[in-house]
Amino acid sequence: MASIASRKSRAERFAAFVRRSGPYRWVGLYDVTPEEVILLGFSGGAPPAHPRFPRGAGLTGAAIARGEAVVSNDVATDPRYLTAFDTTGSELIVPILDERGRVVGTLDVESAGRDAFGPGEVESLSGLSVSVASLFTGISVRTARPADAAAFAEIYAPFTDRTAVSFEEEPPTAEEMCARVRRTLQWTPWLTATNESDVVGYAYASKHRDRAAYRWSVDVSAYVRESFRGRGVGRKLYDELFGILRRQGFRRACAGITLPNDASVALHLAAGFEPVGVYRRIGWKLGAWRDVAWLARDLDPDDAGRPPSEPIPFSSYDDDP
């Protein structure tokens, strides 16, 4: 997991700093996704009993629902405490919000004693949490590089052999992913989203079909690292991607989505796609026939009816976002 090392190590350094700032036995930072809460880094000996748990669970679930800090000064009598350690007396959860007010992370501070967190501690630890918000919210988008391929392979792998999201059945190697990136970049963009120099997602376009008259149409796809889902990375990648595709002279973007996939359908609808239709039972994967929904959008709605000029291949296009 070399590609997530820098976020994790920064989270661990921050957790160690917070732990030294008071009588705290364990401090952790968690990513919050639409479904789950996933440990990013911690300080204080052992990992917790639950390195990932459902978004609604525990004191963390209460802090996410309220969008503000939640304290339990006696976890032994608090049914909300999701027992991480038998030795914890008090727990404080501080939610970390993005610019749209979505909870994207949490700071979890545990103390062995009871009554550890008064208003002063809550205020100072909430203040400290602001200094790591960029670990959860800072997203940049740039053209993909061969060195990103290992991270792409890691993000994509689970969708090949464990789900029907992709109709590939074997995870491609990093070398194969690298070859795909190089091939794709000849004609269309492949973009990388990063946080703290870690690759957290990618999106790319490819030819819709080979025959000549299709050459203004592309297929698009996006994959976001699990811990970063639901915080606008897919939207940001697509906004950049469609801007470049439009300037290259492409006119129409299409997307095929194996059903069900609520997140992908939501992303494409939010990005201006309209449903075209559903290919019923078009693929056999993991023991079942699968339906694929197709969606499409104009890339340049003002120009949709006029004859097109030739698209500029991405390899000769000079406009890195």
Of the pair 70, 267, the CB lying nearest ligand COA is at 267
* Interatomic CA distance for residues 303 and 4, integer angstroms: 42
Angular region, 78: left φ>0, alpha ψ -120 to 50, beta rest:
beta
Radius of gyration of the chain (CA): 23
Distance between CA 176 and CA 180 in Å, rounded?
6
Tell whether residue 261 is a contact of ligand COA (CB under 6 A): yes
Could you say whether residue 141 binds ligand COA (CB under 6 A)? no
Which residue type occupies 189? P
Instruction: Decide: is 264 part of the binding site for ligand COA (CB under 6 A).
Output: yes
Ramachandran sector of residue 184 (left: φ over 0; alpha: ψ -120 to 50; beta: rest): alpha
Contact 8, 196 (CB under 8 A): no
- Contacting ligand COA within 22-51 (CB under 6 A): 34
| Binding letters toward ligand COA, positions 157-196, x by CB under 6 A | --x-----x-------------------------------
Q: If we measure between CA atoms, which residue out of 285, 303, 238, 245 comes closest to residue 266?
A: 238
Q: Which of 32, 218, 263, 292 binds ligand COA (CB under 6 A)?
A: 263
C-alpha torsion sign, points 298, 302, 305, 311: negative
Q: Which of 32, 84, 224, 241 binds ligand COA (CB under 6 A)?
A: 224
Residue nearest to ligand COA (CB): 234
**Of 226 and 298, CB closest to ligand COA:** 226
Q: Does 126 bind ligand COA (CB under 6 A)?
A: no
* Tokens, residue 320: 């890195």
CB 109 within 8 A of CB 75: no
CB of 267 to ligand COA, least distance (A): 4
One of 267, 293, 295, 299 touching ligand COA (CB under 6 A): 267
Cα separation, 8 vs 12, in Å, equals: 6
Query: Is 282 near ligand COA (CB under 6 A)?
Result: no
Query: Among residues 207 and 235, whose Cβ is nearest to ligand COA?
Result: 235
Q: What is residue 43's three-state secondary structure?
A: strand
Q: Give yes or no for residue 206 binding ligand COA (CB under 6 A).
A: no
| Residue 6 engages ligand COA in binding (rule: CB under 6 A) | no
Stretch of 57-65, 226-234, 243-251, 281-289 contacting ligand COA, by CB under 6 A? 226-234
- Identify the bridge partners of residue 116 per DSSP, sorted by sequence position: none
Residues forming contacts to ligand COA in the complex (CB under 6 A) are 34, 159, 165, 221-224, 229-235, 257, 261-264, 266-267, 270
